[in-house]
């Protein structure tokens, strides 16, 4: 048992022996009186000794509870776990997100340049950035089983900014001594090389070992691969944890990927096991979209009532820098902070910042009316819905303006819009100050027509811009999210984009509407029209469900055909180079395909890579396939991409032995020289 002097190991009733050990958990040990040492031993040695003693019935298993004192307990509950990185909105920024077991823990991150071994450079003072904390609970979920059991997950997120592209950094979280290292991805430029790994359908092999036998093995194989040949990014294209409404599975999955995600930015997409229609509570869907369940598709409740909420709160993807505007726990935390700030204002504060106090007071009153109880008790559903709809921040309008200006130099402005596409090209030709017009064919909900007539997105956007300039939170719109969300703004983690090195990545959600006139397709077109092919000659689109599906997967093939009918022409118009998917639990790749067939001119088709092989049990695949199917390997593994200039080399690497099972080399469809000439001709190039 633990004593104030050490550990007492009792060999019998008549004889006892006291052994003094040093317990190097952290500095708090010394403060509890457990630090008196004769023989310094590592934590691993101590654990082995205790296990031996328990096996020999010499001692009882020690309980590290309140007997260790409040300081040690606080240290243990604030240890960062489930650490993962992501690319942020600026290519020089990296976001760190982590979980703690307790509340009241620091959300700051310290970081700095590291030597080749990952050690701090002593001549470089460390940098520090404050962060945010928020709580995920069952109240943010939509339906059972995710809502069946109460739970709380304490999350923290912070951004490391102004980083040197390609440099090695160390970082520590929450004022703790533990450090991690990462290398900043290359700057966005065609002259840079980029390597990344992509896959789908991983899960975790602890709780669901029978259905997901190879997830842990794939993580181990990826670690071995990046030790041999480092990569800049990891992309997980949907079906992340297969938690299906069980939050403990998420904990297991996040712990499993931490060795990868804590050292390489881990970007995710949404799959059917993260988001999907629920029997109730769909208004809590953080995407702001209504449930998508067309009668022709096999869209079901595989998310177990999560409706994307767990993934959206666990993984903070780029595309919307204002976290509060994402709604859910982010907005609740911001409201709680605003309320606390107002309560602590002094008369002097009020006199020196009258405007700020008025705005904060109004917001606090709103929060008080809608969030009953103390901070941490969880926001009401009404408040979550209201704050989720505040995503019409001015950043979306500003970004749209920039994209429209850049479009003229991309050689795309002359393309004719397709009828009913709700395209950004239509908006460019019919430009007006009214940002509130929906795309053609988007009025499908008769019950909302009255609210739509009253909604003025331009006014809300202007108010949001004024709030941002005054360093205030954006205004909250009372309208449902799917009516107020900016049609041409990203909606992370459901659909968003980012660029790294010579590649522009567009992440889509196959679990939401992609048909002409949909919010997502409108955003996709605005995203593709603004790509600078002079800086990023490669465009890669990623979505969970594939557009091309092998036999015998009839239901998935029907869905793929509909997705292809919705967006393939758009992807071909903008000369997308590669589409990466998962969902079907096997590996296969297509020829350069269009319209379900191979094309002789590779620039008029797209190569589709399906890599749903990261852990889940494999799918059946027939021997006879369509002509568009060039290669099938029914084995676990992951894809590796190495991009250098106008050349992309792809390899499918097997989990079992780390060998290359299939490979392919592609040339960029758009010549960088031609793209740069077009940009120079418009005067948009530096």
Provide DSSP, 360-400: HHHHHHHHHHHS-SSTTS---HHHHHHHHTT---HHHHHHH
Q: Return the minimum-mean-pLDDT range out of 100-104, 348-352, 497-501, 551-555.
A: 348-352
pLDDT tens for 266-303 read 999 999 999 988 777 767 789 988 778 888 988 888 99
Residue 8 has pLDDT above 90, yes or no: no
DSSP state letter for 184:
P
Residue 155 has pLDDT above 90, yes or no: yes
pLDDT value of position 327: 86
pLDDT band (50, 70, 90) for residue 42: low
* Cα gap 662→653, rounded to integer Å: 7
Task: Choose among 249, 116, 69, 226: nearest CA to 640.
Answer: 226
pLDDT value of position 49: 52
* Cα gap 125→522, rounded to integer Å: 46
pLDDT value of position 461: 37
Kindly state the percentage of the chain with pLDDT values over 70: 66
* Cα gap 201→584, rounded to integer Å: 8
Are 147 and 154 in contact by the 8 Å Cβ rule? The answer is no
Tokens representing 209?
């070992």
Mean pLDDT of 514-539: 96
**Torsions phi, psi for 546 (to 5 deg):** -80, 155
pLDDT tens for 125-138 read 999 999 999 999 99
Provide DSSP, 514-551: -STT-HHHHHHHHHHHT--TTT--EEEEE-SS-SS--T
Residue identified by tokens 């040690």 is 72
pLDDT value of position 525: 97
DSSP state letter for 620:
P
Q: Return the minimum-mean-pLDDT range out of 441-445, 490-494, 642-646.
A: 441-445
* Cα gap 64→70, rounded to integer Å: 11
pLDDT band (50, 70, 90) for residue 676: confident
What is the chain's alpha carbon radius of gyration, rounded to the nearest angstrom?
A: 26
Residue 589 has pLDDT above 70, yes or no: yes
pLDDT tens for 485-509 read 456 899 999 999 999 999 999 999 9
* Cα gap 436→445, rounded to integer Å: 16
Are 211 and 242 in contact by the 8 Å Cβ rule? The answer is yes
Mean pLDDT of 471-479: 40
pTM score: 0.74
* Cα gap 271→508, rounded to integer Å: 10
pLDDT value of position 685: 55
Residue 358 has pLDDT above 60, yes or no: no
Are 185 and 167 in contact by the 8 Å Cβ rule? The answer is no
Q: Supply the mean pLDDT for the chain.
A: 76
Q: Name the range with the highest mean pLDDT among 404-413, 481-490, 597-606.
A: 597-606
Task: Choose among 512, 453, 513, 462: nearest CA to 483.
Answer: 453
pLDDT value of position 671: 83
pLDDT value of position 251: 96
How remote is the C-alpha of 311 from its chain's centroid?
7
* Cα gap 96→131, rounded to integer Å: 9
Mean pLDDT of 656-666: 97
Secondary structure class of 590 (helix, strand, coil): strand
Mean pLDDT of 443-459: 35
pLDDT value of position 290: 74
pLDDT band (50, 70, 90) for residue 347: low
pLDDT value of position 81: 96
Task: Look at 193 and 21; give whichever has higher pLDDT.
Answer: 193
**Torsions phi, psi for 631 (to 5 deg):** -155, 140
Residue 84 has pLDDT above 70, yes or no: yes
Are 528 and 570 in contact by the 8 Å Cβ rule? The answer is yes
Are 547 and 564 in contact by the 8 Å Cβ rule? The answer is yes
Mean pLDDT of 505-531: 96
pLDDT tens for 293-344 read 888 988 888 999 999 999 999 999 999 878 888 888 898 888 887 777 666 5
């Amino acid at each position: 048992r633990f004593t104030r002097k050490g550990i007492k190991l009792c060999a019998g009733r008549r004889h006892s022996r006291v052994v003094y050990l040093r317990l190097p958990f952290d500095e708090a040990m010394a403060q509890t009186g457990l630090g008196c040492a004769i023989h310094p031993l590592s934590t691993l040695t101590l654990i082995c000794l205790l296990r031996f003693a328990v096996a020999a019935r010499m001692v009882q298993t020690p309980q590290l509870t309140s007997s260790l004192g409040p300081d040690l307990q606080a240290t243990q509950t604030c240890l960062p776990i489930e650490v993962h990185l992501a690319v942020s909105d600026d290519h020089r920024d990296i976001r760190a997100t982590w979980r703690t077991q307790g509340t009241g823990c620091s959300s700051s991150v310290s970081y700095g340049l590291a030597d080749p071994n990952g050690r701090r450079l002593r001549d470089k003072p460390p940098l520090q950035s404050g962060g945010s904390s928020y709580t995920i609970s069952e109240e943010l979920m939509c339906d059972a089983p995710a809502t069946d059991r109460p739970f709380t997950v304490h999350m923290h997120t912070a951004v490391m900014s102004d980083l040197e592209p390609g440099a090695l950094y160390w970082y520590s979280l929450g004022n703790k001594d533990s450090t991690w290292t990462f290398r900043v991805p290359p700057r966005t430029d065609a002259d840079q090389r980029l390597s990344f790994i992509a896959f789908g359908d991983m899960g975790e092999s602890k709780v669901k070992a029978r259905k997901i036998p190879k997830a842990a093995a794939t993580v181990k194989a990826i670690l071995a691969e990046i030790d041999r040949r480092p990569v800049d990014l990891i992309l997980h294209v949907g079906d992340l944890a297969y938690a299906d409404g069980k939050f403990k599975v998420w904990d297991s999955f996040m712990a499993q990927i931490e060795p990868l995600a804590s050292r390489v930015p881990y970007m995710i997409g949404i799959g059917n096991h993260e988001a999907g229609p629920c029997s109730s509570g769909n208004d809590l869907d953080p995407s702001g979209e209504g449930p998508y369940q067309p009668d022709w598709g096999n869209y079901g409740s595989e998310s177990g009532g999560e409706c994307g909420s767990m993934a959206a709160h666990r993984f903070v993807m780029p595309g919307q820098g204002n976290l509060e505007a994402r709604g859910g726990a982010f907005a609740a935390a911001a409201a709680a902070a605003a309320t606390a700030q107002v309560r602590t204002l002094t008369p002097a504060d009020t006199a020196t910042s009258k405007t700020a106090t008025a705005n904060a007071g109004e917001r606090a009153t709103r929060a008080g009316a809608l969030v009953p109880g103390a901070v941490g008790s969880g926001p009401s559903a009404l408040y979550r819905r209201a704050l989720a709809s505040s995503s019409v921040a001015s950043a979306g309008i500003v970004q749209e303006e920039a994209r429209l200006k850049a479009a003229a130099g991309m050689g795309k402005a002359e393309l004719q819009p397709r009828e009913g596409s709700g395209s950004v090209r239509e908006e460019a030709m019919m430009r007006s100050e009214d940002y509130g017009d929906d795309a053609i064919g988007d009025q499908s909900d008769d019950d909302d027509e009255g609210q739509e007539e009253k909604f003025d997105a331009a006014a809300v956007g202007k108010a949001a811009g004024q709030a941002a300039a005054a360093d205030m939170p954006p205004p909250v719109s009372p309208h449902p999210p799917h009516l107020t969300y900016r049609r041409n703004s990203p909606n992370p983690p459901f659909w968003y984009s980012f660029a790294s090195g010579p590649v522009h990545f567009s992440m889509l959600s196959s679990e939401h509407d992609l048909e002409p006139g949909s919010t997502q397709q409108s955003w996709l077109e605005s995203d593709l029209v603004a790509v600078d092919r002079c800086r990023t000659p490669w465009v890669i689109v990623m979505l969970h469900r594939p557009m091309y599906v092998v036999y015998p997967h009839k239901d998935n093939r029907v869905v793929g055909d509909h997705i292809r009918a919705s967006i393939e022409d758009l992807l071909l118009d903008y000369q997308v180079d590669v589409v990466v998917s998962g969902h079907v639990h096997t590996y296969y790749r297509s020829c350069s395909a269009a319209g379900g067939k191979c094309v002789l001119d590779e620039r008029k088709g797209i190569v589709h890579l399906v890599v749903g092989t990261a852990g889940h049990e494999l799918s059946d695949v027939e021997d006879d396939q369509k002509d568009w199917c060039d290669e099938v390997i029914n084995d676990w593994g992951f894809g590796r991409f190495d991009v250098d200039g106008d050349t992309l080399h792809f390899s499918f690497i097997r989990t079992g032995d780390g060998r290359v099972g299939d490979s392919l080399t592609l040339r960029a469809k758009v010549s960088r020289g031609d793209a740069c000439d077009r940009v120079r001709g418009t005067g948009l190039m530096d």
